[in-house]
Each structure stands twice: as C-alpha cells, then as structure tokens.
Chains A and B, each alone.
Chain A
Amino acid sequence: ETGVTQSPTHLIKTRGQQVTLRCSSQSGHNTVSWYQQALGQGPQFIFQYYREEENGRGNFPPRFSGLQFPNYSSELNVNALELDDSALYLCASSPGGTESYNEQFFGPGTRLTVL
C-alpha cells in the first residue's frame, strides 16, 4: 500500500511569485487536507477536499486555493507569495469521507522558502 506522497520536496521562490504543490493520497482515501506548519509551530489547517469539492477551510486568505482530481490527488496553489508563507506544507489523506473520527495520514511535506 502506497502512502501519501508530495512533490516537490523543497522549493525556493521569491516574493510575489506563485507556487503549486502536489499531493497523491493514500490508496483508497478520498479525502485530502492541507496544513501549513511554520517553524516551531503545530500544523495549521488550510482546507480539505472531498470528492473534488472544498469541504472546510481554515483562516487563510483566498490566495491559497486548491484542487482535487478524480483520482483524489490534490494541488495547493499559493499566489502572490509573502515571506511569511515560508513553511512546511503537509498533505494528509483519510478514508471514508469527512467523518470526524477518521485519522489522517500525512505525507512527508514540501518545504517552501520564500525570499
């Protein structure tokens, strides 16, 4: 069984640029969530996708957007990058829809550095 994978591993961008991060969910999982983990902090929920539709969003501005594809993989897009966007971006997948009791399985993350 393949776990959650993310690409790229590391990324360096400059302020104002746009970035796309990718995530492949674990086999059989139809729900994908994205989190931002700043250095020394716990992960912060960005949004969740279930069956290609956004299902819940955290306190992030609209320049953070996402997609989920029919194969349940997902993208996180960030426009107009700011220095504070530098963080580890984590993707997590879970089975069985959006039931609150399902644990989420995390990928290794993408380290984004904004200069």
Chain B
Amino acid sequence: AQSVAQPEDQVNVAEGNPLTVKCTYSVSGNPYLFWYVQYPNRGLQFLLKYITGDNLVKGSYGFEAEFNKSQTSFHLKKPSALVSDSALYFCAVRDGHNQGGKLIFGQGTELSVKP
C-alpha cells in the first residue's frame, strides 16, 4: 500500500538559517513525489515535484527537494528561511503505475520561522 510519513509535526527555524522538512514514502512502483504548502484557511499550493531524472529538484520560492531512492526519502529544503515561509507543508506521493488521480498525503509538518 502507498503511504507517506512526515516524522516531525513541527519544525522551528530561525530566519536566515537553512531548513529541512522530512518526508519518507512507500509505493509499489516508481514514485511520483510532490510538496505542497498550505497557509491558514487556504488551499494547497504546489511547490515542486519529482518524476524522474536529477535527484535534486528546484521549485517555487527558493525551495528544493532531494530524492533518495535507497532511503525512500524526499526531504524539502531551503538554504535560508524567511518568516513568510511559516506554514503547513505536505508531502504527497503517487504510484507511477497507478493511472489515476490518487495522491497520498502525509500528515503535514508545521514550519515556524522566527525573526
């Protein structure tokens, strides 16, 4: 069965420091991996995705993510955090062999960036 785990409910970072939000996944086929961000009372905004190719994926707002097949991980990173990055972050996976729209989401990680 497909699943996503975000082991940290909350991540606290000082502004200007690097941030990492962790994600591990489990799928039977090739994983298609996504990161979304959710601001209070808003829908989800797409940040980046990994389909194939280069393991380091660059996305919106300076975020990037590294795909690691051996560790089945897809951690979200940013070299220098901003206070405005404070939000709820979701990792999601889709099985590449599954021709359907089912995205499996993690529980979410609350990122708090302090000045």
Contact of B100 among A44, A56, A106 (CB under 8 A): A56
Q: Which of B43-51, B70-78, B79-87 is the interface stretch?
A: B43-51
Given the complex of chains A and B, what is the CA–CA distance between A98 and B45 in angstroms? 19
Q: Are A42 and B107 within 8 A (Cβ)?
A: yes
The answer to the question of B28 belonging to the interface, with a C-beta cut-off of 8 Å to chain A, is no
B interface footprint on A86-112 (CB within 8 Å = 1, 0 otherwise)? 000010101000111101111111000
For the side of the interface on B, what is the size category?
A: 20 to 34
How many residues of A are counted as interface, with CB atoms below 8 angstroms from the partner's CB atoms? 29
Chain B interface residues (CB < 8 Å from chain A): 4, 32, 34, 36, 41-46, 49, 51, 90, 92, 94-96, 98-108
- Please list the residues of chain A having a beta carbon within 8 angstroms of any beta carbon in chain B: 4, 31, 33, 35, 40-45, 48, 50, 55-56, 58, 90, 92, 94, 98-101, 103-109
